[in-house]
Structure 1
Amino acid sequence: MSNTTGAERLRKRAQATALAVILSVAATSSLPSTNEGSKDMQNTGTTSPNASENLTDRQQAIVPIAAFAATGDIANLNTSLDHGLDAGITVTEAKEILVQVYAYAGFPRSLNALAELMKVLDMRKQRGIQDAAGRLPGSPIPTGDALLAAGTANQTRLSGGPVKGALLEFAPAIDVYLKTHLFGDIFERDNLDWQSRELATVSMLSALSGVDSQLQAHMRISMNVGLTANQLRQLGQVLADRVDGNVARRAQEALDRQLAIAPGP
């Protein structure tokens, strides 16, 4: 009886997670690389847990950049971009984070954020700062049927199982867009690692209201790509210190809900 109950509970949790990912018309992104092994991790859709329980300075710097870009707070974004580049975010990585904003907050805020990045880089250049350019994706992005296959595989790996449901049957176009564009075109760009993309996604969703189910789903996905509960709590603290207390509260509540339903050790 206990085994049956446990299996049923796991099945329901997987379905709930899948639905939350589906409803996130802007799911996650991909795995760039801060090391030579990133490409292999990107291809498998997994990462090993960080040896440290703390976010690096670079990872912490992603949090306010993503949050302020998503809310359109350009003044604070300017300061956060300057700090992030000092903390080791490359120009290419900053571009990837701000392009990803469009999936969650729309093209206007993504475009405005990218324009601000251009201004910040110009000001830094005038101060004599030469920022690291970063790298481009390591391989061409597939097209056609190969893109659909790659996107489907990425979506399955991130969510922990195939994503199906009545919503996708009701609106099959969104299923195609999710698999080919978000999980294909974006996830296949391996010049930003999945952990960094998830830190950005959780920060964006925490900064936006009315997306609680998507936020909780991405807390789960963040753990799937190797971020620990302590690191996600630290993300919330960065939001509290550098962004806004209410934004931090949303992140912490989503993490608490996820930990309450997550399987024990």
Structure 2
Amino acid sequence: MKSLIFVRTFSVVLLMLIGLTETYAMSESSLDRRQIAIIPIAAQTASGDIENLKISLNQGLDTGLTVNEIKEILVQMYAYTGFPRSLNALGAFMSVVNERQEKGIKDEVGKEASPLPADYNSLRNGTANQTKLIGQEVKGPLFDFAPAVDEYLKAHLFGDIFERDVLTWQDRELATIAALANLKGAGSQLGAHYAISMHNGITEAQIRDFIEVLRKTVSAETANEAAKVFDQVLTDRK
């Protein structure tokens, strides 16, 4: 009997210590809890890992992301991972929200995107957004070769999606690098968005912590590859 009581007591203490350790690790991160929650949601959407995505979606809501913020992340993902991944993730999120409602959990819906002016021009404003986001006008042989993709990037991604104020640009870039890090063959795009992220206020320390979140929530292989790309970006900047 005493042995059983000891085992139960030890288990409780061990769980408390694990919780304290996780809390301490979270407080020591240069990313806040909300930013940390964004990373696996975007990364697992990119890979189509729906089972783990549902876990991350629940954790994101528990952390304080609103329903509309998570919707916005998943909608944005179609521009980087394609409609199938985005739609599957949105379907998973819809089921998570419904399950939580059935359990009596009341999640904050959050604000809607502000309406755009009547004279809003997606291409014009998107070009301005892209230039501001990246720090310079974007042009080059690829866009001369395929001008349609240049127009779609400017008008739709940066004009229609990035103009929506449900998320900040830092939020959007964090989601973008998480998705690209978990996409095979997207190293050059990941490197470009690391640079864009830092241009928009995400620090080197935050990206290092971002990589460690990938290690814990996705895989060591994904994190190691993301770290290699980031190291190369820092080398090129020097």
TM superposition score category, shorter chain reference: 0.7 to 0.9
Q: Which runs of 5+ in 2 are unaligned?
A: 1-27
Aligned to 2:17: none
Q: Contact 1:70–1:109 (CA<8 Å) still a contact in 2? A: yes
- Aligned partner of 2:211 in structure 1 is 236
Describe the superposition over 1:85-136 as per-residue Cα deviations: whole angstroms up to 9, x where unpaired: 1011100110011011111111011001001001101111112111111111
Q: Give the letter for the 1:137 counterpart.
A: A
Change (3 A) 1:81 1:141: farther
Rounded Cα–Cα distance in structure 1 between residues aligned with 2:172 and 2:92: 20
Mapped partners of 2:80, 2:106: distance in 1: 31
Task: Name the SS of the counterpart of 1:210 in structure 2.
Answer: coil
Matched, 1:128 2:104: yes
Deviations 1:122-155 (A, max 9, x none): 11111211111111112316667x2211100111
The one of 130, 134, 142 equivalent to 1:167 is 142
Alignment map for 1:56-205 (pairs within 5 Å): 56-140=32-116, 146-205=121-180
1:168 is paired with a residue of what secondary structure?
Answer: helix
Shift of 1:165: 1.1
Percent identity for Structure 1 against Structure 2 = 52
Instruction: Name the count of aligned residue pairs.
Output: 211
Structure with larger Rg: 2
SS at match of 2:77: helix
Is this contact kept in 2: 1:90–1:134, CA < 8 A? Answer: yes
TM-score, normalized by length of structure 1?
A: 0.77
Runs of 4+ with deviation above 3 angstroms: 141-144
Distance between the aligned counterparts of 1:202 and 1:170, measured in 2? 26
Give the TM-score of the pair, scaled to structure 2.
0.85
CA contact (8 A) 2:29 2:209 kept: no
Larger proportion of helix: 2
Report the Cα distance in structure 2 between the residues aligned to 1:142 and 1:177, rounded to whole angstroms: 21
Q: Which runs of 5+ in 1 are unaligned?
A: 1-51
Bigger RCO (CA 8 Å, 6+ sep)? 1
1:249 Cα deviation after fit? 1.2
